[in-house]
């Protein structure tokens, strides 16, 4: 692979060759060593053969292992479903571009370019599912097809590389290599491939994917399914048995055989009526709607595969009526989802975003300092409990907590109304419940307290007296009788003062006018009726305590 160096080096110090970037190196061919047709390694698979395939992969020949991983997905619907669920859930997570930190004057332009080339164009959306093939096989390769213009390098697509073309260095078994046209394994050219490794366990890539542990469960389940099919072949089809009497002629026997054979399937026979045929079956293989021991064994292995791939079985195997069975399950357990997303981000940003930025802008900024790179972020946005947020605001705002409207609006998902938009409004002010404890407007608390100080104190006193008397019961003393009589009408006594506030609010065009009206009401609130009632009540209580006689309390509306 000889060509003109670009003057750039990758993260390992290898020079970047311009001509290599514009070629497709990993395409399959009809006559070469990279052929698209596999050999079908799962035919007649036995435990001994499976162990041999896994051992060959560790020894540097993973072709049969990659074919096995591919055929397992094709031949097992459950494994295909759960693996596809995991890959699709991760590939559909939100992607955003975060601008690089620092004072690089090119940062804004670079961020916009990355957004346009990789996200807006759909390049990453189309490639993520193939990159996530590493979930099952432990590694995946995607070849970057670059297009070069006069002043721009642009990746136009990512081509999935057949994993059967992948080899590893013999020393560490970790560095992926590509089979060349000469049949030998060659190191991957820098900035030409996206090599993703998503680990289910620690170790070399060939031992860290899900396909290796799942292969054993898949094989044993496959044996179970074969036994189940043989069982159904013998016992699942009704067997017609015709009996003939001793001495029946050949013509009678042939006629009887034609009769029973013409009914449905071919499972039919004739015997003398003095003979008997018995079909002996094990109880474990019958008498169950789910297939008995065969169905139970197959389900057991399916459950183990679900746990390995999704981290739980609730998504695919929830039981109706079981506790929690009717609840929504997360498709892929959250810790697995986050780990996959982090592995994807590390891979894409190091092997795709950084090469794009270095090719077009260089590895250093205008001041000569190493460049900071934008970051493609993959994951779910932070989930906030909107109901809890609103409930907290409703409870704490009346107590004086200041909350920005934009914070509530953004988290609820509402936009700022524009000029001319029809907006929802609070119900029109009607009557104010004088027994309510909260002041209508939190922002006006200071003004209301100043204008209505006597009114609020009287309301608090009346409410306190009412609570005490109701809890004390019928004490029978003069003061209790007098206070109880007066409490029945105290709301009406406060009505003139309340009406003044309501009229001021109704006449005001905005909050400013309402504040001015409250200021003008200071010291002018009509408290005459309530003051007279409290004076009479105080006198009656004093007189009753001094004389000791039961004084008939004045009813509301009387002068005393």
**221-280 pLDDT, tens digit each:** 999 988 888 887 767 766 667 788 888 888 888 877 777 676 555 556 666 676 555 555
- Residue 327: the pLDDT is 42
Exposure letters 79-107 (e unless 16+ CB within 10 A, then b): bebbbebbbebbbebebebebbeeebebb
Does the pLDDT of residue 283 top 90, yes or no? no
Q: Does residue 320 carry a pLDDT above 60?
A: no
Mean pLDDT to the nearest integer, 416-438: 62
C-alpha gyration radius of the chain: 42
Model confidence at 318: pLDDT above 60? no
Distance, in Å, from the CA atom of 127 to the CA atom of 274, rounded to the nearest integer, reads 72
- Give residue for tokens 């496959």: 222
**DSSP code per residue over 54-97:** HHHHHTT--HHHHHHHHHHHHH-HHHHHHHHHHHHHHHTS-EEE
Are 536 and 543 contacting, i.e. CB atoms less than 8 angstroms apart?
no
Say if CB 68 and CB 316 are below 8 A apart. Answer: no
Distance CA 170, CA 60 (A): 6
Cα separation, 440 vs 445, whole angstroms: 8
If 0-12 CB within 10 Å is exposed, 13-18 middle and 19+ buried, where does residue 495 land? middle
154, pLDDT greater than 70 = yes
Alpha-helical (H) ranges within 115-154 are: 123-131, 134-137
Measure the CA angle with vertex 134, ends 131 and 135; round to 5°. 115
- Report the interhelical angle of 77-91 vs 123-131 (nearest 10°): 140
The H-or-E segment that residue 186 falls in is strand 185-187
How far apart CA 107 and CA 559 sit, in angstroms, is 83
Report pLDDT for 173: 92
Confidence of residue 436 (pLDDT cuts 50, 70, 90): very low
Q: Count CA atoms closer than 13 A to 510's CA, side-chain side.
A: 1
Whose CA is closest to 204, among 62, 311, 308, 337?
A: 62
Quick check: 418 pLDDT over 80? Answer: yes
């Amino acid at each position: 692979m000889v060509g003109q160096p670009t003057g750039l080096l990758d993260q390992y110090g290898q020079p970047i060759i311009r001509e290599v970037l514009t070629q497709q190196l990993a395409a399959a061919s009809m006559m070469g060593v990279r052929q698209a047709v596999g050999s079908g390694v799962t035919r007649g698979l036995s435990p001994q053969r499976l162990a041999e395939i896994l051992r060959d992969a560790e020894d540097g020949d993973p072709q049969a292992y990659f074919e096995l991983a591919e055929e397992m997905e094709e031949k097992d619907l459950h494994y295909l479903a759960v693996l596809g669920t995991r890959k699709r859930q991760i590939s559909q997570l939100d992607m955003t571009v975060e601008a690089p930190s620092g004072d690089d004057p090119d940062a804004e332009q670079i961020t916009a370019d990355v957004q346009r080339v990789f996200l807006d164009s759909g390049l990453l959306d189309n490639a993520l599912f193939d990159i996530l093939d590493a979930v099952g096989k432990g590694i995946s390769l995607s070849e970057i097809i670059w297009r070069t213009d006069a002043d721009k390098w642009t990746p136009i697509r990512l081509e999935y590389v057949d994993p059967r073309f992948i080899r590893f260095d013999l020393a560490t078994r970790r560095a992926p290599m590509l089979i060349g046209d000469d049949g030998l394994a060659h190191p991957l050219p820098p900035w030409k491939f996206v090599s993703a490794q998503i680990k289910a366990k620690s170790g070399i890539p060939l031992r860290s994917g899900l396909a290796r542990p799942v292969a054993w469960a898949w094989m044993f389940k496959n044996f179970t399914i074969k036994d189940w099919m043989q069982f159904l072949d013998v016992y699942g089809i009704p067997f017609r048995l015709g009996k003939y009497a001793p001495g029946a002629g050949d013509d009678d026997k042939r006629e009887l055989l034609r009769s029973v054979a013409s009914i449905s399937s071919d499972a039919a026979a004739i015997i003398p009526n003095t003979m008997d045929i018995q079909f002996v079956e094990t109880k474990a293989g019958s008498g169950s709607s789910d297939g008995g021991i065969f169905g139970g064994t197959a389900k057991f292995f399916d459950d183990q595969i679900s746990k390995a791939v999704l981290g739980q079985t609730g998504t695919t195997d929830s039981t109706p009526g079981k506790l929690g069975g009717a609840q929504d399950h997360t498709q892929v357990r959250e810790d697995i989802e986050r780990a996959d997303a982090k592995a994807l981000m590390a891979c894409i940003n190091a092997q795709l975003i950084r090469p794009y930025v270095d090719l077009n802008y260089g590895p250093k900024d205008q001041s000569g300092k190493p460049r900071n790179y934008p970051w493609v972020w993959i994951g779910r946005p932070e989930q906030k409990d909107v109901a809890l947020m609103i409930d907290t605001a409703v409870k704490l705002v009346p107590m004086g907590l200041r909350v920005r409207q934009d914070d509530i609006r953004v988290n609820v998902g509402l936009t700022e109304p524009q000029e001319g938009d029809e907006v929802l409004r609070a119900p029109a002010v009607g009557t104010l419940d004088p027994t309510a404890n909260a002041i209508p407007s939190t922002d006006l608390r200071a003004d209301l307290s100043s204008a209505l100080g006597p009114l609020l104190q009287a309301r608090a006193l009346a409410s306190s007296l009412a609570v005490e008397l109701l809890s004390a019961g019928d004490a029978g003393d003069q003061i209790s009788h007098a206070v109880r009589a007066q409490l029945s009408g105290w709301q009406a006594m406060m009505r003139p003062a309340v009406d003044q506030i309501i009229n001021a609010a109704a006449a005001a065009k905005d909050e400013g006018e309402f504040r001015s009206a409250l200021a003008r009401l200071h010291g002018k609130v009509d408290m005459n009726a309530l003051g007279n009632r409290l004076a009479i009540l105080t006198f009656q209580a004093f007189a009753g305590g001094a004389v000791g006689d039961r004084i008939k309390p004045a009813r509301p509306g009387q002068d005393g």
